[in-house]
Structure formats: structure tokens, C-alpha cells
Copies of this chain bind each other. A is one copy, B any other.
Amino acid sequence: MTDARRQLIDEVRARFGKRVAVTDPVEIEPWLSDWRGRYHGHSEAILAPSTTEEVAEIVRLAGALGVPLVPQGGNTGMVAGATPQEDGSALLLSLRRMNLIRSIDAEAGVAIAEAGVILANLHAAAEDADRRFPLTLGARGSCTIGGLVSTNAGGTQVLRFGTMRSLVLGVEAVLADGSVHDGLSGLKKDNRGYSLDQLLVGAEGTLGIITAAALRLVPAISGRAVAWLGLGSPADALAVLRELERGTSHVEGFEIVPDDSLSLVLKHIPGTRSPLDGEHDWHVLIELTDDGSLDEAPEALLAKLLAPLIDSGLIEDAAITSNEAQAEAFWRIRDSISEAERTDGPTLAHDISVPVGDMPRFMIEAAAEVERVFPGTLASGFGHLGDGNVHFHVRGGATAAADWYEAQAPAITRLVHDLVTAAGGSISAEHGIGQMKRDELARLAPGRVAALKAIKRALDPKGIMNPGKLIA
């Protein structure tokens, strides 16, 4: 251990107590690998402050000693943005002990939550106040507010409420010089120059440490209807979405599922059954919610909006339900796709986006191109069609060699990213860049990376904020 890291750990213990600097390797171990288990790093300690002042003091000490910090929340990220480097040069800074919901103002629709608050706990607190924090995703029981803000997280309800960026009213953050940016006042209008709050959203901890966020709450849900549709193509699916949007602003979820993804779920996930009797090339899961402002039951509204589309043949078949058990069963199919694919064989995932209107064509053409260039592979996209964001998966197929993933993954990913870039899209729609996509971002968007690096150097001249992530 270098003197600098030793000294930082000792200083933190002297000022804030022993438990604010965990050095037991057994306690540290679980936090050194990323969620998917593909990246492994090293850190001699986890610093675990419980107040903004402690974070600020640690950042000041780290700056003075030249010790980089890797901020970490629930460690559920998909791109290894919270995994320390292998050389152990940085220390982990866990925000998990900063887990207070400081306030909930139901009338104003604002919650102020510290970085370490687990998403599911915020959901529960909002519900207790007869409100709702609308963003949700699979890792809700582990992921934290700080990480959600720092990665501009998305999820399944983005269609109606946007990503974290649109739900963050302001942030409190410790900048690299140890100063505290306080954007929590929740001003609806503030034109005092560049928005530091917006700059910190999605910065993956490379510009500062988010310690708390003021978040928008919306009216609580009083009911929902969920539909499973069978139809012929992604273009038909998008046409259905446009028709729905003309009739209501209450559609929150619109997820596309290709038939082979459904088949894999039915094959590998116990207790699942097909929502429709017949065969369809493509499927769509729709969720429509009521927050008390609808004049009819959500199921009735959804049925009314879908009826003409069924009559016209745009939709081949549909099952609509407001039965919670059945709604959950539909969602379980959608949420099990990644697991089913992994069970079936090696799978390579890509979180990508293109303009919404271009996505149907992109899905078809990109899949065909990947399967053409890499014979034997099976490519398909599923997910948030209404956001122009699908998870584009490439599977090795039945004949894949044992080393398929290692041998083929880089070239396949490069092709997918080239296709996305040619379509004016993004190689990271909602997961961020982290370590995993850093070199690809530099390859495909050098001008953009140059601007990001300039900003990074300006705000973190010593390079102590999550080094090696997002930009080299």
C-alpha cells in the first residue's frame, strides 16, 4: 500500500471513526466485481461516509494526497462504471450509508433522497405519501439514487416520464476540489449559467460525487391495465404506439418482444405460458396506468383504443387484463428474456438507441447484417421500442463453439456499434459507458470525447474522480 492511501485511510479513521474506512478484505471482496461478473478490480479499503460533510472532507483529503476515488452505490451497473481498477490505485467510496430520505413534500411533488437510498425504499416512501416515483428497473431492490442519477438510468417507464435526467430537479454533489454544489432548493426556474445539475447527471462519478438529489414525484397509481399483442413486424408495433399516443398520455410501458425471445422464455423459465394461443412473429407488452385522472377503467380505455387496430388487422391478436396476477405474468415474460437467452447459450447484449421512427427498420436490417457477417449467429432486438431503445442481443446459436463469446464478441460488437453509429444512434442508450464501452466511444466519437475530456480536466484537474471510466 502506498503511503498516500495508508495516510488517507488513517486520516479518515482518525476523523470519523474506524467504521468509515473498512479494510477487512472479506468485507471488501463482494464490491470489487461488477454486477455481470466480467470486471474485477482491487481496493485496499471502502470509505463509507454517512454525511455530505464527511464526503467533502474525504474528497479534500484524497485531493491533497492524490488518491483517486471510485464512487459506488448498489453496484448494479451494467458497464463496470463502479468497479475499481485492477492496480488498486484507487479506493472505493461507498455512498450506501448515506441512506436518508431527507424530505417528501407530497403537495409540491418533491422528494429529497440521499445517494445511498435504495430505489425500492424511495418507491415505498413515495407511496406512503400517496405519491409515486415513476422510474423503476429490475435492480430496484439494490440500486441506489446516486447511481441512478450518475448513470441517467432509464427502465421500463421512460416512455411517459423520461429518464432520471427529467426526474432530477437538482443535485447535491461534492466536486473534485471538495466544495459542495447545492442544487437541492428545487427552483423551477434558474438561469444562472450552465446547469451543473444537468452536467452531473450521467457523468458516472467522473466530475463529482452525488450525495443527494431532489426528485420529482407524480400522482400515485390507482389502477393499471396490461395488454399482450401479437403482430407482424416492428413497424406494425410502432404504428400501434403512435395510434395509442394519439388517444391517451397514459401509456407507460411499450415493450417489443420477438417470437424467438418468447420461445426461449417459454422453454427455459418455469411456470411461464404464452399469453396468446396462436403464433405471431412479434409481440408487444403494453402498460396503461390510471393516476385518478381517467374517466374510465384503464382496461376499458386500452380495449377501446386497441379495438380499431384489431379490426383493421394491424394487431393480429390481443389479451388485455387488469388482473394483477395476469399482468405480473405478462411482465415476467418480458423480464425473463435475458435470463432465458443466457440459459440457452452464449449471448452478447448491446444497449443501443436510434431515432424512434427508424428503429423498426434498424431492428430488421441490423439483425440480418449481423447474421450475414457472422453465420450461425441469431440476432434480435427487444425492449423499449417507444424510446428508440432496444437491447440488441446476438446469440451464438446451437452450433456455437465453447469459446464463441471470447472469440467473436469484440468483432460482433464492433459491427453492431458501426451499424448504430451509421444510423445516427447511440452505443449506450441507458447503461452508460463505464469501462466496458470506453474504448468504443473513443473510436466512434472522438470529437465528443475530446469535449468531454476538456470538461473533465477542468473540473477534476488531479484526476481523482472515478478515473478510467467513461473517458480514458
Contacts and interface: CB of A to CB of B under 8 A. Distances in A.
Interface stretch (A59-67, A132-140, A445-453): A445-453
Interface stretch (A43-51, A188-196, A372-380): A188-196
B196 A201 contact: no
Contact of A188 (B388, B445, B457): B388
B201 A108 contact: no
| Copies of this chain assembled into the complex | 2
A202 B195 contact: yes
**Secondary structure at chain A's binding surface: helix, strand, loop or mixed?**
loop
A428 to B, nearest CB: 5
Interface residues of A, number: 70
A181 B426 CA distance: 14
Interface string A266-295: 000000000000000000000000000101
Given A107-B242, A108-B356, A425-B185, A431 B191 contact: yes
Interface in A447-463: 447-449, 451-452, 454-455, 457-459
Contacts of A452: 193-194
A324 to B, nearest CB: 26
A160 to B, nearest CB: 12
A355 B454 CA distance: 33
B207 A194 contact: yes
B430 A189 contact: yes
Interface in A410-454: 424-433, 441, 445, 447-449, 451-452, 454
Given A189-B389, A191-B432, 7 more contacts: A108-B357, A165-B195, A189-B388, A189-B430, A193-B441, A194-B199, A248-B293
25 contacts: A107-B242, A108-B355, A151-B191, A154-B189, A154-B191, A175-B451, A181-B447, A185-B355, A185-B424, A185-B425, A187-B353, A187-B425, A187-B429, A188-B353, A189-B384, A189-B430, A191-B202, A191-B430, A193-B203, A193-B448, A193-B449, A194-B199, A195-B199, A199-B199, A455-B455
5 shortest A-B CB distances, which residue pairs? A458-B458, A454-B458, A198-B198, A189-B429, A190-B426
